[in-house]
Structure 1
Amino acid sequence: MFANPSVMCNLMRELPTNIFICLLLTLCSCNQNSKQEKSAVKNIDTITTGIENIQKREPFKQVVDNLPNELLEFVPKNYSVLDTVSGDLNLDEINDYILVLKKNDEDTLSDVIDNPERRPLLILLRNKDNKLQLARKNNNTVYCIDCGGMMGDPFMGVTIKNGYFSVEHYGGSAWRWTRIITYKYSKQDNEWFLHKDGSESFHATEPEKVESKIKTTKDFGRVKFETFDIYREE
């Protein structure tokens, strides 16, 4: 049975249009897939190169130029002052000082694995004659310049408040961490003891998911400021 010629003519006229529509749909589909693939590749690149894009934080810089002579006499040769802060350290309502020192060439000498360059922290108390005296010293309560991993120098500063003082650090790479060591003055013992050792960690892509860990005297007992060692393996 033969088809109606008029129908055949109509089909022939519609065929190029149908072919064109099919080709157009095919091209659109391919283009969409290509965009999705490029987007996926871009996302993968962002994830895999995330660590490389971390900006190294500049070393801690405190304005310590033109220090008064009463502080300079506690700075040994080949050292400079990394940080200085004033406050009441022994609850006598008189402002004392904390000095954090560093070797002048610590950036080339320090090796975080084999030989971390120590940064002494000095407690300076003001006596009745209004003169500063060295009360205590610890070489192992401030992390070294290269202890912060890819983030660089982890030292963030020292704070003093009513017989307490804290040493703050922040470092890491894709995984970030903080560590704050807090000491408390005891009038009865005329001594500073470790009060808290707190730390937090989180991934840079999920900063809201923080893991916290705080140790107190229930965990480490009575530890004098002078004997605490931040490098000691737990």
Structure 2
Amino acid sequence: MKIAVVVFPGSNCDIDLFEALHTVCGAAVEYVSHKRDNLDGFDAVMLPGGFSYGDYLRCGAIARFSNIMPAIVEFAKQGKPVFGTCNGFQILTEAGLLPGALKQNDSLKFICKTVSLTVENNQTLFTTQYKKKETIALPIAHADGSYYADEETLAELEENHQVVFRYAGENPNGSLNNIAGITNKAGNVLGMMPHPERAVEAILGNLDGLRLFKSLLENGKVTTEEAVR
């Protein structure tokens, strides 16, 4: 029973995710190469931030064709937890596991700062330790984080309560409906542009991301490293 952190060429937040889950939360975690073609033995999958394949063509467009992706798609279809942050979110939309797309920030600039978010749905595998409508702060670091979808898709997201996180106050990138994170209809796939893995330790001055991982460990029935031993 363990969590897979998928590593693509150009991933640079894979270590952040690994350490947040393993060192801080005590979960059993393993790096998984993009070349692998199965996820046997894992019960949750994490897609990290970064610049997979140098963001050539579009962010996440090439990673979507990696060997590991069919296994991730099947994993999601089985109702198992799949999480993607930043570039991971972009990959999930490119793979069709989440609706919509992430386009260039309205400012046409890379943005790196901490932003305020509202927790819109605290009934997902990833958010039960938050309060609904709670305001939290998480870091962002992206140039292509503006969420876009057509009007019909946006209406479905709102109606089905698939919008999990929304930018509160300032919208840093121009995302429609201030969307910062969404799930699929089944609720087992979450993609978000902010980085919860960078807000899990007091020494960093922010613990607001920690409850996302604790929610997953509690609800996803993911065992700890201690239990594996």
Structure 2 length-normalised TM: 0.23
* Higher relative contact order, structure no. (Cα contacts within 8 Å, ≥ 6 residues apart): 2
TM-score, normalising length: structure 1: 0.23
Q: Which structure has the bigger radius of gyration? A: 1
Larger fraction in strand = 1
